[in-house]
């Protein structure tokens, strides 16, 4: 029931029409008995104007999506240190005088990996991709203390650029950058692979960023940030070679939960998370 005390949260970006975030936040608000609504806010104007307007309108919190995850940073009152290192925020939390920026995509990935009993500390990790998503994932791997990180990308120069940025912040982490075609040459076994490109996303379900059985046999666990289809061709290859797999839906779930927790200073338990996960699975399958 919306009344005079209802608080507003929303998603700023362009486009916002296909977002699943309203399903997460409005269900959380209903289940936790909080007087809050979450709506998509298509943002066509200058991002600085949108942020100051949101503050003036007493908006409690915002998610930020493409194309503003980097561009919003100069308009923040404060920023979480890991989000600042990554250079991308997806969550704005209202504080005195403005908003504080966080990157809950990365908190979401961390919690999704925790759910699978996967720790990145001391592990060999292969990151596939060198775009915005791979950048955030690389910083998480480095901050969690991976023993070696391989960044493999179609355009190897971009992998090299990302390697330089990660090493500038985490000088003690061993990072190797290369082309996707070098995946089979990685010497280590028991690799954790994090697939951060858009290759294999519906409707291109018969595409994989990497081919070759040697690489797939070395993977003990693979996470694909894609959640539509349920199993990308990449994850299928890992599973058939004997590795464990997870798609990106839990990352979506937990990034939303982390944002909600920051806005409302609450903690969402696993029973509630599992209810929201069921809803998200149905929505993705119906899309
Ligand atoms: P995001 O923010 O989702 O990471 P992005 O910054 O545009 O999006 O990055 C897209 C990533 O997918 C890049 O690593 C890109 O590789 P390039 O740097 O070589 O462009 C990768 N990618 C996209 N299409 C690809 C394809 N067909 N094969 C291999 N990699 C692809």
Instruction: Give the pLDDT confidence of 6-26 residue by residue, as tens digits.
Output: 999 999 999 999 999 999 999
Query: Cα 49 from chain centroid?
Result: 26
Distance 106 CA to ligand 1 centre (A): 18
Task: Specify whether 69 is catalytic.
Answer: yes
pLDDT (0 to 100) of residue 123: 98
Percentage of residues of the chain with pLDDT beyond 70: 100
Return the ligand 1 atom nearest residue 158 CA.
Answer: 18
pLDDT (0 to 100) of residue 108: 97
pLDDT (0 to 100) of residue 45: 84
Protein residue whose Cα sits closest to atom 25 of ligand 1: 199
Average pLDDT (174-195) is 97
Q: Cis check for the bond before 15: say yes or no (omega within 30 of 0).
A: yes
For ligand 1, whether the C-beta of 200 sits within 6 Å is no
Euclidean distance between CA atoms 233 and 156, whole angstroms: 22
Return the ligand 1 atom nearest residue 129 CA.
Answer: 14
Return the ligand 1 atom nearest residue 207 CA.
Answer: 27
Q: How confident is the model at residue 287 (pLDDT cuts 50, 70, 90)?
A: confident
Helix axes 132-143, 104-115, angle to 10 degrees: 60
Q: Is the pLDDT at 286 greater than 90, yes or no?
A: no
Average pLDDT (160-172) is 96
Q: Cis check for the bond before 179: say yes or no (omega within 30 of 0).
A: no
Q: Is the pLDDT at 74 greater than 90, yes or no?
A: yes
The pLDDT tens digits for 237-256 are 999 999 999 999 999 999 99
For ligand 1, whether the C-beta of 158 sits within 6 Å is yes
The pLDDT tens digits for 27-54 are 999 999 999 999 999 999 899 999 999 9
Q: How confident is the model at residue 272 (pLDDT cuts 50, 70, 90)?
A: very high
Average pLDDT (111-131) is 97
Q: What is the pTM for the complete model shown?
A: 0.95
Average pLDDT score over the chain: 97
Q: Is the pLDDT at 1 greater than 90, yes or no?
A: no
Annotated active-site residue in 27, 69, 85, 250:
69
Residue 6 — φ and ψ, nearest 5°?
-65, 130
The pLDDT tens digits for 194-244 are 999 999 999 999 999 999 999 999 999 999 999 999 999 999 999 999 999
pLDDT (0 to 100) of residue 281: 97
**In 150-177, which positions are buried (b, 16+ CB within 10 angstroms) versus exposed (e)?**
bbbbeebebbbbbbebbbeebeebebeb
Average pLDDT (146-169) is 97
- 137, 106 in Cβ contact below 8 A? yes
Protein residue whose Cα sits closest to atom 21 of ligand 1: 197
For ligand 1, whether the C-beta of 211 sits within 6 Å is no
If one residue of 198, 203, 227, 233 were mutated to test the ligand 1 pocket, choosing by the most ligand atoms within 8 A of its CB, it would be 198
pLDDT (0 to 100) of residue 190: 97
Protein residue whose Cα sits closest to atom 2 of ligand 1: 132
pLDDT (0 to 100) of residue 218: 97
What is the DSSP code string of the chain? ---TT-EEEEEEES--TT--HHHHHHHHHHHHT--EEEEEEE--S-HHHHHHHHHHTT--EEEE-TT-TTTTGGG-SEE-HHHHHHT---EEEEETTEEEEE-HHHHHHHHHHHHTT---TT-EEEEE--SHHHHHHHHHHHHTT-SEEEEEESSHHHHHHHHHHHHHH-TTSEEEEEEGGGGGG---SSEEEEE-SSTT-TT-TT--S---HHHHHTEEEEEES--SSSS-HHHHHHHHTT-EEE-THHHHHHHHHHHHHHHHT----HHHHHHHHHHHHHHHHH-
Q: How confident is the model at residue 101 (pLDDT cuts 50, 70, 90)?
A: very high
pLDDT (0 to 100) of residue 110: 97
Residue 147 — φ and ψ, nearest 5°?
-80, -35
The pLDDT tens digits for 123-151 are 999 999 999 999 999 999 999 999 999 99
């Amino acid at each position: 029931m919306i009344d005079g005390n209802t608080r507003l949260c929303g998603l700023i970006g362009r486009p916002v029409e296909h977002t699943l975030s309203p399903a997460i936040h409005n269900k959380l608000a209903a289940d936790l008995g909080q007087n809050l609504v979450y709506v998509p806010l298509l943002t066509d104007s200058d991002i600085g104007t949108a942020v100051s307007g949101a503050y003036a309108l007493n908006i409690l919190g915002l998610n930020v999506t493409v194309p503003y995850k980097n561009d919003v940073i100069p308009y923040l009152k404060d920023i979480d240190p890991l989000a600042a290192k990554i250079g991308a925020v997806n969550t704005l939390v209202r504080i005195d005088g403005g908003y504080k920026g966080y990157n809950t995509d990365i908190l979401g990935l961390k919690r999704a990996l925790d759910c699978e009993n996967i720790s990145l500390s001391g592990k060999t990790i292969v990151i596939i991709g060198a775009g915005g998503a791979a950048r955030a994932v690389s910083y998480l791997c480095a901050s969690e203390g991976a023993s070696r990180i391989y960044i493999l990308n179609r355009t190897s120069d971009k992998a090299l650029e990302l390697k330089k940025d990660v090493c500038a912040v985490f000088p003690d982490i061993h990072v190797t950058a290369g082309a996707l075609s070098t995946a089979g040459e990685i010497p280590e076994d028991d690799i954790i692979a994090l697939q951060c490109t858009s290759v294999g996303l519906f409707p291109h379900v018969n595409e994989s960023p990497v081919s070759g059985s040697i690489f797939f046999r070395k993977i003990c666990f693979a996470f694909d940030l894609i959640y539509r289809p349920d199993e990308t061709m990449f994850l299928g290859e890992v599973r058939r070679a004997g590795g464990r797999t997870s798609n990106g839906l839990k990352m979506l779930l937990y990034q939303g939960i982390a944002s909600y927790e920051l806005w409302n200073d609450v903690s969402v338990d696993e029973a509630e998370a599992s209810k929201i996960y069921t809803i998200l699975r149905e929505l993705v399958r119906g899309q």
